[in-house]
Amino acid sequence: MPTTKNAQLRYQVLDRCFQDKNNYYSIDDLLEEVNERLRAIGSHIELRQLRQDIEYMRSSDHFNAPIEAVPYWGKKCYYHYSRPFSIYNNELSPDEYDKLETSIRILKRYCSSPSYAWLEESLSQIECKFGFVANSNNLVSFQENADLKGLEYLSQVIEATVEHRVLDINYQPYGKDERLMTIHPYYVKQYNNRWFLIGYYAQKELLSNLALDRILSITEAQVHFIKNESYDFEHFFDEVVGVTVRDVPVEHIKLQFTEKRFPYVVSKPIHHSQVVEDEDQFIISIDVRPNPELEQQIFSFGKDVEVLEPEAFRQRIAEKIAENYEKYFPMHDDCTDDA
């Protein structure tokens, strides 16, 4: 039986070679292809191991792969599948597989920027799905919600943003009537498992933020695209938590956590500006523009957090807590009966 170390990666390379109708792979060629991939992770195999891998893939107890050795020059043979087949159910041709892998490598160059954290997550999911990462099957799970509304528009929105095409979007904000918005798309951002389109709202002549799950329909508008010359989206969201950017000052916000929750917040900062102000008192600070996403983040910590400063923001959170308290413990003016 072939050794299990890097086995899935070897099978992946061999599977691709056996499907390739444009090239002929001898046993030596196959060995070079496999070792070229293994060298990237500091490993290699010998010819004996390669032959064991091929027999393992052929075995009816395993992949039952229709691998055929075809004589082509003297005693040499080339190896391929005798019929359309793949040990992976990805339905990609070898050429498509190579192009996808190359595209992932190019896109990963951008993942070092915090603005593209969503891209790194997406690429990692693709790598696991199509076998670019060895031994990934059933070992890695990603949070996703296939039922999330608006995902059907994501591809169309991204394409329109890249290709500078104007969109007529039938949109319905929470608790409001639907409206037709002509949007010049500038940027697409993911936050908290939701997708948002940021673009120029032509009717109101302002920058608008649209949640894809509130979109009812999209059609392409036949108007000239207004190019973005005012906003640097590399840094547009630097001073906020989430995606809502309001025209309010940046506040120095101090939060005090319980001893139990404090290590979690230190290891997973609320914002990149986060600083530990007092480790003994479990106090951190962030410099941000207050917005609904920040409030939601604070409320997610429940009783484990207290807003210390600034006073106005502390009072706003206190008022919301009071409103919530009344939902569960309504106050009554009833007097007790006189004795």
Whole-Å CA distances, 239 to 111, 202, 206, 273, 331: 20, 26, 20, 8, 39
pLDDT tier for residue 76 given thresholds of 50, 70 and 90:
confident
Question: Can you tell me the mean pLDDT for 111-125?
Answer: 63
Across the chain, mean pLDDT equals 85
DSSP-derived secondary structure letter, 124: H
pLDDT tier for residue 1 given thresholds of 50, 70 and 90:
very low
User: Residue 72, SS3?
Assistant: strand
Whole-Å CA distances, 143 to 12, 191, 269: 25, 13, 20
Q: Would you state the structure tokens that stand for residue 270, as one six-digit string?
A: 């609320």
pLDDT tier for residue 99 given thresholds of 50, 70 and 90:
confident
**Tens digits of per-residue pLDDT, 289-308?**
999 999 999 999 999 999 99
Of 8 and 160, the structure prediction assigns the larger pLDDT to 160
Query: What is the Cα–Cα distance from 301 to 257, expressed in whole angstroms?
Result: 9
Q: What is the percentage of the chain residues whose pLDDT exceeds 70?
A: 81
Q: Would you state the structure tokens that stand for residue 72, as one six-digit string?
A: 């082509």
Whole-prediction pTM value? Answer: 0.59
Query: What is the Cα–Cα distance from 265 to 207, expressed in whole angstroms?
Result: 32
pLDDT tier for residue 158 given thresholds of 50, 70 and 90:
confident
Pair type for strands 251-257 and 283-288: antiparallel
Rg (CA), the chain: 28
